[in-house]
Structure 1
């Protein structure tokens, strides 16, 4: 039964990591028009325990240091003397692709979790006979 609990633990770590990634992506999407907002990026790190198990964990959220978009609008309250203000460095297309990837990865982990649970239940049924 230890193999089943190990498999459930690994898939649960994947579910948690993708859920955290999806939260970061949704924050970026919601701030796509916020002046001065820097895109948040969340890397993953591998947690290697004493056993052969490798779990994935969300890393520390970082700010994307790429240049902010310069927007010319002299009537904007944040505009400088030249009429420019800093927009955001969030690209909606990239964020939507990241959201789709996180969703698919989450679904794959969820399916693996469910299959492991079903196999465990099937084994218990066989052992009861």
Structure 2
């Protein structure tokens, strides 16, 4: 595997990992008002392919945030108990939006690196043809 292919492999694993993270962040944001919803957490792991000598990033299993659910007072809600409270979600929109912005920036950085590697490879091929 040449250096260009290794670089493309690394950046594509980063793109894939950040896309997965963005998907789960979008699910968290869309379910922020769903009673009983627990925030999904994604973490990254490094994997090493001994055959190619390339390390890449992968997402681990999705975990649920175990912080306590917000208690919401609304006696008219169908899920409210006899005291008028029900369990809301543990999603904090400010945290989710900040995480989404960070994931978006990381995705864009990986995409730029992918494009730059592709351009360098193409330029090298043009030079070798001459």
TM bracket (short chain): over 0.9
Aligned position for 1:23? 23
Q: Output the CA distance in 2 between the equivalents of 1:52 and 1:96.
A: 36
Question: Shift of the alpha carbon at 1:72?
Answer: 1.0
Residue of structure 2 in register with 1:32 after alignment: 32
CA distance in 2: counterparts of 1:118 and 1:77, whole angstroms: 58
The residue aligned with 2:7 is 7
**Which consecutive unaligned segments of at least 5 residues does structure 2 have?**
none
Q: CA RMSD in A?
A: 1.0
Residue 100 (str. 1) matches residue 101 (str. 2): yes
C-alpha displacement of 1:106: 0.3
| Paired position in structure 1 for 2:118 | 117
The alignment status of 1:66 with 2:67, answered yes or no, reads: yes
The answer as to 2:71 corresponding to 1:83 is no
Which is further off, 29-38 or 47-56? 47-56
Structure 1 residue 75 displacement after superposition: 1.1
Secondary structure, in 3 states, of the residue corresponding to 1:67?
Answer: coil
Corresponding pairs, count: 129
Structure 1: where are the runs of 5+ without partners? none
Which deviations, in whole Å up to 9, do the C-alpha atoms of 1:56-93 show, x marking residues without a partner?
01111111000000011111110111111000000000
Shift of 1:52: 3.9
Deviating above 6 A after TM superposition, structure 1's stretches of 4 or more consecutive aligned residues are none
Farther-moved stretch of structure 1 (37-46 vs 52-61): 52-61
